[in-house]
Structure 1
Amino acid sequence: MRLSVPHALAPACVGLALIATACTNEEVGSSPEDHEPQPSAGAEPFEPVLAPRLLSEMDLDDKIGQLLVLTAQGTSAADNAAQIEAHRPGGLIYFDANLEGAEQIAAMSAGVQDLAAEQGRGVPLFLGIDQEQGLVARLPVGTGFPDAMAVGATRDTELAELRAATTAEELTALGVNLNYAPVADVNTDPNNPVIGVRSFGSDPDLVARMAVAEAGAYSANGVVPVAKHFPGHGDTDVDSHSGLPVIDMPRDRWEAEHLPPFKAAIDAGVDAIMTAHVLMPQLVGGEDPEPATLSPEIIDGILREELGYDGVVTTDALNMEGVRQRHSDGEVAVRALEAGVDQLLMPPDPAAAVSAIRGAVEEGRLTEERIDESVLRVLALKEKRGVLEAEPVDVEGAAAVLEDPAHAEAAQRVADASATLVRNEGGLLPLAEGDGVRVRGVGAEEIAAALTEAGMNVVDGAAGEADAVVVGTEGGSGASEQSALVASARAEGLLVVVVSQGTPYDLAAFPEAEAFLALYSSVDVSRAAAARVVAGLVKPSGKLPVDVPAADVEAGTGLTT
């Protein structure tokens, strides 16, 4: 496995000849007049050569196209020919429906890049994906790592780097050069419906360390990382896919709890940042604030001027309801650019977005110089990460990269280190080798198979044959059937081991269980890790990366055996 895994993120900020320096160490909240932005200590200056030349040769249609990242169509390059010809986009984003197998994905990537080379100025595409790992993973092939919260439980930045570097090698083999990861949100609301295990935890410093480690590993291995979702999606109780979350939080609390990971990523020179479709009225003031994605006060004001960030800023998906409630799709595109955004991700009507942007330029609402700023950032990042002069994808060799046994070993290593034993009354775990174990609930089949492989006596018969019951849960605090499984086992007089595969907040839902093991993920390697802990093959070493208020348990809790 040929991976470059740095111990700290040190790529350059996107330093542009025509734009200000990318990064700064100035304190949040200070006036931009008080401090000129300075390069961060870990960043090496990058001066693009090809990007300014390309920009000077572009017409307005070419420029507007570079601002668009469109949803890929179908499963072949031919399925995307029409939209590439019509809009000359800066990138495409892949979803499950586009992805079938390694050779197909690699061939599609190679094909759409060929099509892009034939249009306009022939600028190669950013080919992006949401391959966060765990809950949000689009690839149907390759290595399945645990979710970010599991990585947070390890407290080990080298494991964060390993997860990102391995993922990056697989994406590169498929021709994917940008990943909408890592998640830099701090999950402070246990009822958050959209972040949860996608976050590294509830401690802003822990999240900062892990996010910076992963971003550095992605960029060092040929994939552009995108830290998301600024200014923070971790304290929401509404999913911005279906509504507009409102976070009525004082600025000082936001600075303390949700800004640190983004500040750390900016100081380290992160390539790109994604905005959040969240409303934070106390950050912007005024009587009629816009969602962060459309807010000049948050993007140009806080992110650009106060934090000194001059890298690429992308919207979250523009087909989400959190950003479509007040304006037409074309108007949303214009307002995002007015706010300081560079790339428009998944505009639901690309033609409307292009028309609205062109109209705004013709009317003087947006200047072409403003468009040039964003296009230059995009082109400079493509140059910096080798996209403009990338080697062709090895279509036939892609599958072999994804099937590297070292990748599976890396995923299991992360999962084993993340398993967190929160409760172990009477020293129940590990179970004795001859104990009869019944397995029920979420992931029962996979956990039972892993227990058998670990040498345990898995039974599925009458009550008298079992000594203990392993109950798999996921979101158990709201699932009565999972509680019923635990109650049924206790009624039979059996010892209960709860294996939680979602957020650990359901700890309070199972007070009668003798043992509670948190995995933070339902991927195969996490379930295997649970079996290895139950069987005594692995000593649990994970620590809770979040507080569990309902159970009065603090982050950092973790037992061993």
Structure 2
Amino acid sequence: MMTLTDEVKREIGQHFVFGFHGHEVSEDIKTLIQDYHLGSIILMKRNVHDAKQVRGLIRQLQTIAKEAGHERPLLIGIDQENGLVSAFSSPTAGTQFPGAMALAATGSVDIAFDVSAATAKELKMVGINWAYSPVADVNSDSRNPVIGVRSFGDNPADVARYASAVARGLTSSGVAPSAKHFPGHGDTHIDSHLALPRIMKSKDELKRTELVPFEHLVQGINPVASVMIGHMALPGLTGDDTPASLSPVVTKELLRKEMGYDGVVVTDCLEMDAIAVPLQGGCGVEEGAIRSLASGIDVVMVCHTFARHIGSIKATYAAVESGRLNFSDLVEGGKRIARMKETFIGGWSEVLGEESDDAAFEEAWKSLKAGNTELSRKAYQMSSTVVRGKDKLPLKLVEEAKVVLFTPAIESLNKAVDDADGVLMDAAGRLRNTAGPSYLALADQVQKRAKTRHVVYSPNDIEVKGITADVGAVIFVLRNADRSVWQTQYLDKVVEACKAIPVVLLASCGPYDLAGRADLRDRTAYVASFEFRREAFEAFVAVVFDGLEGPGRVPVGL
């Protein structure tokens, strides 16, 4: 039996990263820092109002930690992949930059580096020092519901090049990257937010695809600062259905011993159903925390629920007391955490030194944002890809001709992308706005170029709406139509109704919408933007109406 001294409890607290709710310091997170010695915090969209607010919030959190006797400052992490998963990006906070597949579409690792370095400068300026990025998953299954355009593509070597550029960019501006989701979440069509995916590949097969990017990231002169382990079963590697995040075969044997990695290893959030819900194959959050630490994980992530935060730490106390968890292993992991803190944070003087006044911060922030906004515009323009039908662009409209813009009714995409805080959904889970804010922004952009009729089409629509004699062109938007086949069914009716009217198709998320639809090749122009973001749509409109086009390419085989 081991005695739970204050020193032991302080060590255990360093092995967790927890989230909290609200734009201000909550009593819950204060309790976790003061009484349970929590060493790391994850901020989410629910914590971000604007840059000034986040800066003040983080300073308060660090002050609480210092006054509570923490030896080192807190790691402050955030899901900032850019693209669809951008917890810090908003008009009042960080710049919206292209995500992985869009960056790969530019064909430039230099752009990927520059975008990531610029992102990290913004994060660092407000006190965030850990980004859960880059996504190093190879999107080898186009049906993947949780990775998709969050991946750089389906070629392992290309994913390795771009993921490495992102990691280097973040590191260059003082933010610790975290390559995810080891050993690879790309070859599955199951969402680990909802159930446990099983990837039926042998170790040799994993080495040829999934592990290629991670080998680039964890080996070499400057290995990535941290790696996030995913919630997927790999029975061909481990011999059973134990999730990777709980498997010593994955962390201790493969990542540590065979690949030689000695940086920080963190779990994906244990509140995902693959771990949290026994009916989905999980063991529960508290038990998951013990098993992940026993498997060689350094930091356990639990994002949402205070009771589970307390429960996970208390379960770890009991496991250390009973000898189920080897405390000396935790100490070794604690040294890795301390090294990362020293490298990317420094000491208390770095996080709580002289604070510039608000006016000076806001001026510096304004200047940084101005430059980053221009970089974002350039990157989105370079990523916009005319997949086919270049001869049909730009649109040539006669005066007074209308453009009909068809956008799909919004459906839930996945829990990594969907708004978790009820902004898009009401309490009953119903969509508040079936057009979606991004598609309303697209309609505004098109309206600036031509008289526009905006039609939101849905799975229940039978008759084509909006095609009248004064229509000069149609822009038809798809969002993952390879899974939501009702979109292409409606598209077929629109194309039939248009006859001689030009039709431009926009792939507004994954580029797989029209795989196998060669019959549309001669009838339409097809443009991929990879993200349903206002910034991506601005670039699309420039392509369609001005003929502006960068070197965009589709970074997947179709």
Q: 1:458 to 1:444 in 2, by over 3 A?
A: farther
CA distance in 2, matches of 1:95, 1:407: 22
The 8 Å contact of residues 168 and 222 in structure 1, kept in 2 or not, is answered as yes
Query: 2:525 pairs with 506, 510, 515, which one?
Result: 515
Are 2:67 and 1:118 equivalent residues in the alignment?
A: yes
Query: Who is 2:493 aligned against?
Result: 487
2:425 aligned partner: none
| Contact 1:439 1:458 (8 Å CA) reproduced | no
User: Equivalent residue for 2:285?
Assistant: 329
| Distance in 2 separating the partners of 1:346 and 1:402 | 31
Residue 201 of structure 1 deviates from its aligned partner by 0.5
- TM-superposition CA deviations, 1:243-267 (whole Å, max 9, x none): 1000011222211111111000012
1:464 aligns with 2:428: no
SS of the aligned residue for 1:318 comes to coil
User: If the length of structure 2 is used for normalisation, what is the TM-score?
Assistant: 0.82
Match of 2:21 among 68, 73, 77: 73
Count of matched residue pairs:
487
Kept after mapping to 2: 8 A contact 1:242/1:321: yes
Does 2:403 align with 1:408? no
Shift of 1:344: 0.6
CA distance in 1, matches of 2:171, 2:138: 22
1:147–1:373 distance in 2 versus 1, CA, 3 Å = same
1:74 alignment partner AA: G
1:342 maps to 2:298: yes
Q: Which moved more, 1:166-175 or 1:533-542?
A: 533-542
Q: Distance in 2 between matches of 1:297 and 1:154?
A: 37
In the TM superposition, what are the counterparts of 1:265-344 in structure 2 within 5 Å? Answer: 265-267=217-219, 268-285=222-239, 288-324=240-276, 325=278, 326-344=282-300
Equivalent in the alignment of 2:537: 527
TM-score by length of 1: 0.82
1:441 corresponding residue in structure 2: 407
1:379, 1:201 → 2: CA distance? 34
- Contact 1:71–1:94, Cα closer than 8 Å, also in 2: yes
Runs (5+) with no aligned partner, structure 1: 1-56, 549-561
Counterpart CA distance in 2 for 1:402 and 1:253 is: 47
Query: What SS class does the counterpart of residue 548 from structure 2 fall into?
Result: coil
Partner SS for 2:180: strand
Change (3 A) 1:126 1:421: same
- Secondary structure of 1:468's counterpart equals strand
Distance in 1, Cα, partners of 2:361 & 2:268: 29
Structure 1 residue 195, shift from structure 2 partner? 0.5
Specify every segment of 5 or more residues in structure 2 that has no aligned partner in the other structure, as ranges.
409-437, 454-465
Structure 1 residues 131-178: Cα deviation after superposition (integer angstroms, max 9, x where no partner)? 111211112322111221111111211111122112111111221111
Matched, 1:90 2:83: no
Change (3 A) 1:359 1:156: same
- What is the rounded CA distance, in whole Å, between the counterparts of 2:364 and 2:148 in structure 1? 31
Does residue 1:429 correspond to 2:393, yes or no?
yes
Q: Say whether 1:264 aligns with 2:216.
A: yes
Distance 2:114 2:496 in 1: 40
- 1:332 shift after superposition: 1.6
The C-alpha deviation readout for 1:175-205, integer Å capped at 9, x for no partner, is: 1111111111010111111000111110111
1:86 Cα offset (Å)? 1.9
For residue 60 of structure 1, what is the aligned residue in structure 2?
Answer: 8
Which residue of structure 2 aligns with residue 375 of structure 1?
334
Equivalent-residue separation in structure 2 for 1:72 and 1:101 (angstroms) = 17
8 Å contact 2:392–2:525 — kept in the other structure?
yes
Q: What is the CA deviation profile of residues 71-111 of structure 1, one whole-angstrom value per residue up to 9, with x for unaligned ones? A: 12322125432221121111111112222222211111100
Rounded to whole Å, the distance in 1 between the matches of 2:122 and 2:445 is 26
Q: 1:459, 1:465 within 8 Å by CA — same for their partners in 2?
A: no
Deviation of 1:440 after TM superposition, in Å, equals: 2.3
Verify the 8 A CA contact 1:289 1:295 in the aligned structure 2.
no
Residue number in structure 2 paired with 1:132: 81
Q: Deviations over 1:401-434 (max 9, x none)?
A: 5542211111111111111111107x11122364
Deviation at 1:438, TM superposition (A): 3.0
Partners of 1:499 and 1:519 within 8 A in 2: yes
Choose 108-117 or 379-388, whichever is displaced more. 379-388
Name the stretch that deviates more: 309-318 or 126-135.
Answer: 126-135
Shift of 1:542: 1.2
Counterpart residue type for residue 275 of structure 1:
I
